[in-house]
Amino acid sequence: MNLILLGPPGAGKGTQAAAIAASHGLIQLSTGEMLRAAVKAGTELGRQAKAVIERGALVPDEVVVRIIDERIARPDCDRGFILDGFPRTLGQAAALDDLLAARGRQLDLVIEIEVDDAALIERISGRYACAKCGAGYHDKFKQPKTPGVCDVCGSTEFLRRADDNAETVKNRLMAYYKETSPLIGYYFAKGKLKQVDGMAPIPEVTRQIERLLADVVAA
């Protein structure tokens, strides 16, 4: 099964992609995570992407398309993948169509996570992640079971993202509405789009997505 999670910054794409990938044995492909890893590793790609990410703008299409193309070619993606944060422009969507067609693969479903704008700001400003394994948390909505200890790996160190500040978030939202939101119409027209209510609590959003996936499997 090959899926796309679509939604504005803070909608819950990463949270839901991790849950669905784990329950279905799919690979989560987050271009944001890949770019942050490149920044951390200090590669040439990371050096180029750092300033763009910190501004809240989009990295050029050809850069992210190349990353996804190379990643999908790896055998662990044969069982299927969830794209989280890609595609983000109509150009990226067209490139994805081409690279899937070239491999004889298809897109099963695009799931749009719908969230009110005001809630996005609250979600992003409260977000943090384990410094060791990357598991995601929130000050109010998703705290570790034992305070200060990662549920997944037991680490006691946590990080906040450099682009999760008020100024950058405004630019990220603007980039979403200008460049990414046209994809909603693009995938609707292709008959691939379904919505979930992203204002519901995290486990309920996961259940809504599971119901959509059950329909895909049954079809």
Active site residues: 13, 88, 127, 161, 172
Is residue 3 left, alpha or beta, with left meaning phi > 0 and alpha meaning psi from -120 to 50? beta
Exactly one of 12, 14, 87, 198 binds Mg ion (CB under 5 A); which one? 14
Contact call for residue 209 and ligand AP5 (CB under 6 A): no
Distance of closest approach, residue 203 Cβ to ligand AP5, in angstroms: 9
Compare residues 90 and 217 and give the one whose CB is closer to ligand AP5: 90
Touching ligand AP5, residues 129-168 (CB under 6 A): 136, 138, 141-142, 163
Contact call for residue 4 and ligand AP5 (CB under 6 A): no
Interior angle at CA 30, CA 29 and CA 32, nearest 5: 155
Q: Which does 100 bind (CB under 5 to 8 A by kind): Mg ion, ligand AP5, none?
A: none
Compare residues 18 and 193 and give the one whose CB is closer to Mg ion: 18
Q: Strand, helix or coil at 169?
A: helix
The 3-state DSSP composition of the chain as helix, strand, coil percent (nearest 5) reads 50, 15, 35
The answer to whether 199 and 119 have CB atoms below 8 angstroms apart is yes
The Cα–Cα gap between 14 and 21 comes to: 10
Give 124-127 contacts, CB < 8 A, sequence gap 24+.
124/9, 124/10, 124/164, 124/169, 125/164, 125/166, 125/169, 127/10, 127/160, 127/161, 127/164
Compare residues 29 and 217 and give the one whose CB is closer to ligand AP5: 29
Contact call for residue 206 and ligand AP5 (CB under 6 A): no
Contact call for residue 109 and ligand AP5 (CB under 6 A): no
Site residues (vs ligand AP5, CB under 6 A): 7, 9-15, 31-32, 35, 52-53, 56-59, 64, 85-86, 88, 92, 123-124, 126-127, 136, 138, 141-142, 163, 172, 198, 200-202, 205
